[in-house]
Amino acid sequence: MQIKEILKTKGDHVYNVAPDATVFDAVKLLSDLNIGALLVMRDKKMMGIITERDYRDKIILKGRASKQTRVDEIMSREVFCVKPAETVDSCMKIMTEKKIRHIPVMKEDDTVGGMVSIGDLVKAVIKKQEVEISTLKSYIYGDQPV
């Protein structure tokens, strides 16, 4: 399964925050939306990503004040991205190796075309397995209801 198939269902909207926003505002948005990451963008250009882990490691554990710290001071600047044709398996491999839980999806024109989380990938794998199990049961038992 390719990432573009997940985005067809999930949609391509990406929540984001400006680099000059406060970390407090970013964390509030994360909480309000019940998500774990925001892209940091200026004029539709991705500058980085801010995650719950960034907040934990760069604010809480360093004793910094989230209301006085700007997002661009703590955001992760190295962002691993994929193309829509990337497979779910390869994205899971990237996430495992890089220890990340969110990957932006970049279109051919290098604009952001969506974002997938580890949860999105796990749901896709489970759905694929359910279809395979159903197909195998149908094959084994014929067209009779199980």
SS3 per residue for 58-113:
HHHCCCCCCCCCEHHHHCECCCCCECCCCEHHHHHHHHHHHCCCEEEEECCCCCEE
Per-residue pLDDT of the chain (146 residues; tens, 9 = 90+): 999 999 999 999 999 999 999 999 999 999 999 999 999 999 989 999 999 999 999 999 999 999 999 999 999 999 999 999 999 999 999 999 999 999 999 999 989 999 999 999 999 988 877 777 787 888 888 765 54
Burial of 88 per CB tally in 10 Å (0-12, 13-18, 19+): buried
| Domains of the chain, each with CATH number or no CATH | 3-141 (3.10.580.10)
pLDDT of 2: 95
Phi-psi region of 34 (alpha: psi -120 to 50; beta: other; left: phi over 0): left
Q: What is the pLDDT of residue 16?
A: 97
Q: How far apart are CA 64 and CA 79, in angstroms?
A: 23
This prediction's pTM: 0.84
Q: What's the pLDDT at 142? A: 79
Q: What is the pLDDT of residue 139?
A: 80
